Amino acid sequence: MNAEAARMTGKRWARIVPAVLLMYTISYFDRVNIGLALPSMSHDLGLSPGAAGLAGGIFFWGYLVTFLAAGWLAPRFGPRRTVLWSLVAWGFAAMLTGFVRSEGDLLAVRLLLGAAEGPVWASTAMLLSQWFLKPERARAFGLWNLCIPVGALLAGPISGMILAHSSWRTMFVVEGLPAWVWAVGWWMVVPRSPETAPWLGSEERERLRAGLAAELAEHGRQGHDGLAAVLRHPIVWALLGGFSLINMVSYGFTLWLPSALKAAGTLSISEVGWLSALPYAAAIPGLLLVTRSSDRWGERRMHASVPMVIIGALLLAGVHLDHGSIVAEMVLFTAMGFFLYMYLPIIFTFATEILPHHTAIPAVAFIGGIGNLFGGFVGPTMVGWLRGVSGGFVVPFTVLGIGGILGGVLILAVRRKPQHEATALASLRS
SS (H, E, C) 27-92: HHHHHHCHHHHHHHHHHHHCCCHHHHHHHHHCHHHHHHHHHHHHHHHHHHHCHHHHHHHHHHHHHH
Residues 323-350 have pLDDT tens digits of 557 888 899 999 999 999 999 888 877 8
Q: Give the residue from 334, 205, 175 showing the smallest Cα distance to 261.
A: 334
Q: Which of 18-32, 108-122, 337-351 has the lowest mean pLDDT?
A: 337-351
User: What's the average model confidence in pLDDT over 159-178?
Assistant: 95
d(CA 66, CA 368) in angstroms, rounded, equals 12
Considering the domain architecture, whether residues 411 and 294 belong to the same structural domain is answered as yes
d(CA 260, CA 249) in angstroms, rounded, equals 15
DSSP letters of 238-265?
HHHHHHHHHHHHHHHHHHHHHHHHHHHS
Give the percent of the chain with pLDDT over 90.
Answer: 50
Report if residue 272 sits inside a domain: yes
CATH label of the domain that carries residue 40: 1.20.1250.20
Report if residue 342 sits inside a domain: yes
d(CA 274, CA 270) in angstroms, rounded, equals 6
Domain boundary among 187, 211, 235: 211
pLDDT for 422: 40
Report if residue 47 sits inside a domain: yes
Q: What is the largest CA-CA distance in the chain?
A: 64
Considering the domain architecture, whether residues 167 and 80 belong to the same structural domain is answered as yes
Domain boundary among 195, 211, 227: 211
- Say if residue 5's pLDDT is above 60: no
Phi, psi torsion values for 226, nearest 5 degrees = -75, 175
User: What's the average model confidence in pLDDT over 230-255?
Assistant: 92
Considering the domain architecture, whether residues 112 and 81 belong to the same structural domain is answered as yes
Report if residue 2 sits inside a domain: no
Report if residue 1 sits inside a domain: no
Considering the domain architecture, whether residues 164 and 243 belong to the same structural domain is answered as no
- Count of domains for the chain: 2
d(CA 281, CA 265) in angstroms, rounded, equals 23
User: What's the average model confidence in pLDDT over 12-27?
Assistant: 92
Report if residue 59 sits inside a domain: yes
- Say if residue 2's pLDDT is above 60: no
Q: Work out whether the CA dihedral 333, 339, 342, 347 comes out positive or negative.
A: negative
Q: Give the model's confidence band at 222: pLDDT under 50 very low, under 70 low, under 90 confident, else very high.
A: low
d(CA 7, CA 1) in angstroms, rounded, equals 10
pLDDT for 115: 95
Q: Note down the domain range covering 200.
A: 9-211
Give the percent of the chain with pLDDT over 70.
Answer: 90
Q: Give the model's confidence band at 40: pLDDT under 50 very low, under 70 low, under 90 confident, else very high.
A: very high
User: What's the average model confidence in pLDDT over 12-19?
Assistant: 91
Phi, psi torsion values for 416, nearest 5 degrees = -70, 155
Considering the domain architecture, whether residues 244 and 134 belong to the same structural domain is answered as no
Q: How far is CA 88 from CA 120, 176, 180, in A?
A: 12, 10, 6
Considering the domain architecture, whether residues 405 and 275 belong to the same structural domain is answered as yes
Report if residue 191 sits inside a domain: yes
Q: Give the model's confidence band at 253: pLDDT under 50 very low, under 70 low, under 90 confident, else very high.
A: very high
Spatial contact of 31 and 117, defined as CB atoms under 8 Å apart? yes
Considering the domain architecture, whether residues 231 and 273 belong to the same structural domain is answered as yes
The average confidence (pLDDT) of the chain is 86
Considering the domain architecture, whether residues 206 and 304 belong to the same structural domain is answered as no
pLDDT for 232: 84
Q: How far is CA 346 from CA 28, 139, 168, 332, 341, in A?
A: 19, 11, 36, 24, 10
pLDDT for 102: 95
Considering the domain architecture, whether residues 54 and 114 belong to the same structural domain is answered as yes
Considering the domain architecture, whether residues 171 and 297 belong to the same structural domain is answered as no
- Say if residue 415's pLDDT is above 50: yes
d(CA 81, CA 70) in angstroms, rounded, equals 12
Q: Give the model's confidence band at 122: pLDDT under 50 very low, under 70 low, under 90 confident, else very high.
A: confident
Domain boundary among 193, 211, 229: 211
d(CA 387, CA 259) in angstroms, rounded, equals 11
- Say if residue 229's pLDDT is above 80: no
Residue 354, C-beta contacts closer than 8 angstroms, at least 6 positions apart: 235, 300, 414, 416, 417, 420, 424
Residues 184-211 have pLDDT tens digits of 999 999 998 888 888 888 888 888 888 8
- Say if residue 171's pLDDT is above 50: yes
Report if residue 290 sits inside a domain: yes
Environment class of 15 (CB within 10 Å of its CB; exposed 0-12, middle 13-18, buried 19+):
middle
Considering the domain architecture, whether residues 363 and 255 belong to the same structural domain is answered as yes
Considering the domain architecture, whether residues 204 and 230 belong to the same structural domain is answered as no
Spatial contact of 44 and 280, defined as CB atoms under 8 Å apart? no
